[in-house]
Amino acid sequence: MRLGAHLMRFDAVEPARLRQELADTADAAEHAGLSWLSVMDHFFQMEPAGFPASDPMLEAYTTLGFLAARTETVQLGALVTGVTYRHPGLLAKIAATLDVLSGGRATLGIGAAWYEKEHLALGVPYPPLAERFERLDETLQICRQMWTPGADGPFEGTHYRLAETLCSPLPLSRPGRGPEVLIGGSGERKTLRLVAQYGDACNLFATTPDEVAHKLDVLRGHCDAVGRDYADIRVTVLMGGDELLTGDVDGFVAAARPYAGLGVESVILRPPSTSLAAWVRDHVAPAVPRLADLG
Residue 22 belongs to a domain with what CATH number? 3.20.20.30
Kind and range of the H or E run holding 184: strand 180-184
Q: How many domains is the chain partitioned into structurally?
A: 1
| Residue 128: count of CB within 10 angstroms of its CB | 8
CA dihedral 203, 267, 60, 122 (to 10 degrees): 50
pLDDT, position 227: 97
- Say if residues 103 and 72 touch (Cβ distance below 8 Å): yes
CA atoms of 252 and 271, how far apart (whole Å): 14
Q: Which residues of 147-161 are buried (b: 16+ CB within 10 A; e: fewer)?
A: beeeeeeebeeeebe
pTM (two decimals)? 0.96
Number of Cβ within 10 Å of residue 286's Cβ equals: 14
For residue 277, give its domain range: 2-293
What count of residues does the chain have?
295
* Three-state DSSP class for residue 245: helix
Per-residue pLDDT of the chain (295 residues; tens, 9 = 90+): 999 999 999 999 999 999 999 999 999 999 999 999 999 999 999 998 889 999 999 999 999 999 999 999 999 999 999 999 999 999 999 999 999 999 999 999 999 999 999 999 999 999 999 999 999 999 999 999 999 999 999 999 999 999 999 999 999 999 889 999 999 999 999 999 999 999 999 999 999 999 999 999 999 999 999 999 999 999 999 999 999 999 999 999 999 999 999 999 999 999 988 899 999 999 999 999 999 999 7
